[in-house]
Amino acid sequence: MAVVGDGLGLDADLLVAAEDAARQAMVGLDGRPADLVCAFVSGGEPDQIAGAGELVAEVLDASAMVGCSADGVIGRARGVVGRAAVSVWAASLPGVTLRPFHLEVMRADEGMAVIGLPELRPDDKVALLLADPYSFPADGFVSRANSALAGLPFIGGIASGPRGPGSTRLWIDGRTVDRGAVGVLLGGEVALRTVVSQGCRPVGPAMTVTAAAGNVITELAGVPALQKIEALLAELPPEDQALASTGLQLGIAFDEYVDEHERGDFLVRAILGVDPDSSGLVVGDLVEVGCTVRLQVRDAEAADEDLRELCAASRRLSNLPVGGALLFSCNGRSGDLFGATLGGADHDVTVVRRELATTGVAGFFAGGELGPVGGRNHLHGFTASVLAFPA
């Protein structure tokens, strides 16, 4: 039975903020020792950030501790950006095995190799992963892991530092590192759950890709791709046309054989532009001939509804209440997306707490979110990824 506490420290002195957040999280444990602690720090200089994370580890003295620097943090039902802040998540997790790791990229005979991941055990349930974007190829690693570590969900996010390359700070068991990725393998007899909300809704009809090369689609339903998209956009309602003009997305269906493809049936990827040589659509992922796709748009209402419905469905499907959750939200969801009426930067944590009926929720605003969709791990954008722990 998981018992979770979360804390949020707000102070220009990050050491003060770190101790405050750690002690708030400790209160939530109701006297139990911390098994897993996660710390997220925004604001300040790299050395100050490093000291804040190390202090959290010292105060809580957990069996396993990981964390990272970020653009903004989440905790105590709030999302905080643009100021110095420390968020701490602490959990007592009876029956859960915890194996922290630090991944690094090394030169190998055939290119590069990632080292540091423990050998998998049969009872490993999920891997929590926090990565530095400048020294760790998260997208490539996750893609390879789908084959090499088949069936193991990865969830987490891409960290950031205040001064760009070299300024990201990561923690592994209280020790600061500035490269690679850190994480924890969680196993044992526990029903951990993941929720990945991509925040889009489909528009227009589903279409079959009839010609493509790599990530360039040249033909849709037997029609040149650009011509087909232009015709579909012209038929959309004005409000959807306006949303499409600010960033059109493409949903790639997991299963081409279902009767109708609706929201939740797709891996959502951005349409990056038009290939000048073929006049094909350049998509942010590989697209195979024969797969089914559908246009997608993103707005606050769609993102709100998608997160609410997925969290509520996850809760319904489980026979256990939720003791707490880790939340990794895109930094694009921390600003003006939701607006004051939907809670602004507080939106995602508010929805997760309400729909999962729990209070111990913390995390950070990431530069990319990791999570499984359609049975495979992916690096996402504009997504909220959740790891829920049963009470």
Task: Read off the pLDDT of residues 333-377 as tens digits, 9 standing for 90 and up.
Answer: 988 789 888 999 999 999 999 999 999 999 999 999 999 998 899
Please write the tens of the pLDDT for every residue from 45-94: 999 999 999 999 999 999 999 999 999 999 999 999 999 999 999 999 99
**pLDDT of 258 higher than 90:** no
Confidence band (pLDDT; 50, 70, 90) for 246? confident
Asked whether residue 154 carries a pLDDT value surpassing 90, the answer given is yes
- The confidence score (pLDDT) of residue 339 equals 86
Residue 163: predicted pLDDT: 94
Pure H helices in the chain: 14-28, 46-60, 138-148, 225-235, 238-245, 300-317, 347-356
Confidence of residue 102 (pLDDT cuts 50, 70, 90): very high
- Residue-wise pLDDT tens digits, 14-23: 999 999 999 9
Which residue type occupies 374?
G
Q: What is the mean pLDDT of the chain?
A: 94
Q: Residue 162 above 90 pLDDT?
A: yes
pLDDT for 199:
86
Give me the pLDDT at residue 118, please. Answer: 94
Q: What pLDDT was estimated at residue 108?
A: 74
Q: Region 286-295: what's the mean pLDDT? A: 94
The per-residue pLDDT for 265 is 84
What does the pLDDT read at residue 318? 80
Residue 263's pLDDT is 75
Per-residue pLDDT for 1 more than 90? no
* Per-residue pLDDT reduced to its tens digit, 179-213: 999 999 999 988 999 999 998 889 999 999 999 99
